[in-house]
Amino acid sequence: MEALAFSDVTLELGGRAILSRVSFAIEEGEFVGLLGPNGAGKTTLLRALLGLVPATTGNIRVFAGPPGAADASLGYMPQTRSSSVGSRLSGWDFVACAANGQRFGLPILDKALRFDVDRAIALVDAADLSRRPLIELSGGERQRLLLAQALLGKPRLLLLDEPLISLDLHHQKSIVSLVSELNRELKLTVLFSAHEINPLIGVIDRVLYLGNRQAAIGTAEEVITSPVLSRLYGTEIDVVRVQGRVFVMAGAYEIERDEHRHDV
Amino acid sequence: MSIVTMFEYDFMVNAFEAATIVAVAASLVGYFLVLRGQTFAGHALSHVGFAGATGAVLAGVSPLLGLLVATVLAGAGMGFLGERFQHRDVAIGIVLAMSLGCGLLFLHFFTAYATQATALLFGNVLGVDAPTVLALLALGILIIAALAFISRPLLFATLQPELAEAKGVSLRRLSMLFLVIVALATAASVQIVGILLVFTLMVAPAAAAQRVTIKLWPGLLLSVGLALVEAWLGLTLAYYSDWPTSFWITAIGAAIYMLALSISRQKHVSEYRHEHHHHDEDQVWRPAMTGSREPKRLSARGEEITARARPISSSSHEH
Summarize pLDDT for B180-238 with one digit per residue, the tens.
999 999 999 998 988 888 889 999 999 999 999 999 999 999 999 999 999 999 999 99
Q: Where are the beta strands (DSSP E) in chain A?
A: 2-13, 16-27, 31-35, 55-62, 74-77, 157-160, 189-193, 206-211, 214-218, 238-242, 245-250, 253-254
Q: How many domains does chain B have?
A: 1
- Cα dihedral A151, A153, A159, A164, rounded to 10, equals -20
A2-263 to CATH, choices 3.30.43.10, 3.30.499.10, 3.90.440.10, 3.40.50.300: 3.40.50.300
- Across the interface, do A105 and B219 touch by the CB < 8 Å criterion? no
User: What is the extent of the structural domain holding B83?
Assistant: 3-240
Q: What is the CATH classification number for the domain harbouring B107?
A: 1.10.3470.10
Per-residue tens of pLDDT for chain A, all 264 residues: 889 999 999 999 888 899 999 999 999 999 999 999 888 899 999 999 999 999 999 999 999 899 877 677 899 999 876 566 678 999 999 999 999 999 999 999 999 999 999 999 999 999 999 999 998 898 889 999 999 999 999 999 999 999 998 788 888 999 999 999 999 999 999 999 998 899 999 899 999 999 989 999 999 889 999 899 988 988 888 898 888 888 888 877 777 765 544 443
Closest CA to A134 of B37, B281, B166: B37
- Across the interface, do A80 and B162 touch by the CB < 8 Å criterion? yes
Taking the CA of residue B312 and the nearest CA in chain A, the distance in Å comes to 11
pLDDT at position B251? 95
B-chain residue closest to A48, CA distance: B166
Helix (H, G, I), strand (E, B) or coil at B218: helix
Strand partners, A211: A214
What single letter denotes the amino acid at residue A50?
L
Mean pLDDT by 10 residues, chain B (319 residues): 77 94 96 92 89 89 89 90 75 86 85 73 88 94 97 94 90 93 93 88 95 94 97 94 92 95 80 50 38 37 38 38
pLDDT at position A84? 63
Is B226 inside a domain boundary? yes
pLDDT at position A39? 84
- Going by their DSSP bridges, the two strands A189-193 and A31-35 should be labelled as parallel
Is B302 inside a domain boundary? no
* pLDDT tens by residue, B115-141: 777 888 888 888 899 999 999 999 999
- Going by their DSSP bridges, the two strands B304-306 and B296-298 should be labelled as antiparallel
Is B307 inside a domain boundary? no
Is B208 inside a domain boundary? yes
- Across the interface, do A98 and B316 touch by the CB < 8 Å criterion? no
Residues in chain A with CB shorter than 8 Å from the CB of B288 are 136-138
Q: Taking the CB of residue A28, how many other CB atoms lie within 10 A of it?
A: 14
Distance of alpha carbon A255 from its chain centroid, rounded? Answer: 20
pLDDT at position B271? 60
- Across the interface, do A138 and B164 touch by the CB < 8 Å criterion? no
Taking the CA of residue B116 and the nearest CA in chain A, the distance in Å comes to 39
Taking the CA of residue A235 and the nearest CA in chain B, the distance in Å comes to 32
Give the nearest partner residue to A102 out of B164, B216, B314, using CB atoms. B164
* B160/A contact by beta carbon, under 8 A: yes
Is B196 inside a domain boundary? yes
H or E element: which one contains B176?
Answer: helix B171-193
pTM above 0.80, yes or no: yes
Is B203 inside a domain boundary? yes
Is B246 inside a domain boundary? no
